[in-house]
Amino acid sequence: MNRKLFLVVLTVLFLTPLALLADFADTLNLTTPKKGVWMTVRTVTWKFDTAQYAKGRVRLDLQLMVGNNTKKAIEVGTGSFLIRLAKNDRAIYLSAMGPGMMTPPTRTIAPKDSSVLAISFVLADTGTNVELKMTPTASKTSAWLTFLPTVTSPCQRLALSSEQFLTAADVFQEFMSNTRLSTYKESRRLFLDYLKKKVAGPCTDARASDLESLSGAALKIINLDDQELNNIVRGEREATAPMSFFVSMAKMYAQKIRDQDSKK
């Protein structure tokens, strides 16, 4: 293939947009004790635009069931729900917000009855523990649900997360060798999956700076623009050498975390 034809093909490939929006849906079995007013989360979907992720805009969609095991009817609506994030040793409280968010209408739930609601929040980050608070209108008591990772201990979760990063980085390095955009798209998907599964806990906090480096590396690779990709595909040393060094350094952080925490 001559150079001119190669550039034409490359231009066509770049004109095919890479997916910028990522949705991660999980079916959960989170239920508060079914005494008094209770709630169960059926599904949770994390949504973020990679261009907005670094600016702290992550959308959380919830489908939940609210039940009433009291002797009186209760009323719930948008103001009944609140999200609390554990972030940098402080709590951030967020109510449902933003245009296009799912906002539940005010509902009255009779005694011994329940209702399914859908509600959305805009979060500051995905790398934190998330707690959902539900308080019926005019009530002095609340119910809480905490979204926690479900895999083993915090340290082992962190080691598994680092392993995911290393897999994504290996695929990206393969892209730098074979310069096939399909390989880049696969590495991009794996980095998105890594960001989605970021975990929190004591081991995470102890390695905050290392984890920031990994997240920054993942976001840098996810958000490579057309010119940067074009330079890598053409094998320009000014682009490939710094990127190769950058990925190798990020892998060193990930390998250190994996090796330290895999047996804890």
**Are 244 and 157 found together in one domain?**
yes
Q: Does residue 125 belong to any structural domain of this protein?
A: yes
**Are 126 and 231 found together in one domain?**
no
The boundaries of the domain holding residue 68 are 21-147
Among the three residues 125, 147, 169, which one is the final residue of a domain in this structure? 147
pTM, to two decimals: 0.50
pLDDT, mean over the chain: 77
CA-to-CA distance for 172 and 187, rounded, in angstroms?
5
Confidence band for 66, pLDDT divided at 50, 70 and 90: very high
Q: Does residue 2 belong to any structural domain of this protein?
A: no
* All residues at 6 or more sequence positions from 64 whose CB lies less than 8 Å from its CB, including other chains: 39, 40, 41, 42, 116, 117, 118, 119, 132
**Are 203 and 187 found together in one domain?**
yes
The DSSP call for residue 78 is G
Q: Span 89-93, mean pLDDT?
A: 72
CA-to-CA distance for 118 and 110, rounded, in angstroms?
19
Among the three residues 147, 173, 197, which one is the final residue of a domain in this structure? 147
Residue pLDDT, tens place only, 110-144 = 999 999 999 888 776 555 567 889 999 989 889 98
Number of domains composing the chain = 2
Q: Is the pLDDT of residue 203 over 80?
A: no
Q: Does residue 241 belong to any structural domain of this protein?
A: yes
For residue 129, what is the domain's CATH number?
2.60.40.1240
Paired strand residues for 134: 81, 143
Which position has the higher pLDDT, 14 or 33? 33
Share of the chain above pLDDT 70, in %: 70
pLDDT of residue 201: 57
Which position has the higher pLDDT, 210 or 10? 210
Structure tokens at 257: 């975390």
Task: Output the furthest CA–CA distance in the chain (Å, rounded).
Answer: 79
